[in-house]
Amino acid sequence: MSRIKVRHPGGNEYSFFSSEEFSQAVHRGRISAEWEIFHARRSRWLPVAVHPVFQAGRLPRDERPLAFSDRISGLAGLSPAQG
């Protein structure tokens, strides 16, 4: 996965090396809706509020979608369906 590049309203740019790292920063309130995120395919800056990781990180913990690893680990104790 490529880095996630964000820009503070004051113009400083920061990079995150994973969506998990970016999500943690959003959840902790270090990234607000005033920030921008670089869209590599379009080669332009967009409002960070449109990014799905930002949107999910702003939800209360019990309303957030489960990460793929959490969904898989939740299946560990289940038995295969009997057909």
pTM of this prediction exceeds 0.75: no
- 27, two tokens: 């959840």
Residue 15 near residue 46 (C-beta atoms within 8 A): no
**pLDDT tens column, 28-53:** 889 999 999 999 999 999 999 988 88
Per mean pLDDT, which of 1-10, 42-51, 72-81 is the most reliable? 42-51
pLDDT surpasses 80 at 79: no
Higher pLDDT: 6 or 56? It is: 6
Tokens of 21: 């790292």
Phi/psi at 25 (nearest 5 deg)? Answer: -65, -40
Q: How confident is the model at residue 61 (pLDDT cuts 50, 70, 90)?
A: low
The whole-number pLDDT of residue 51 equals: 87
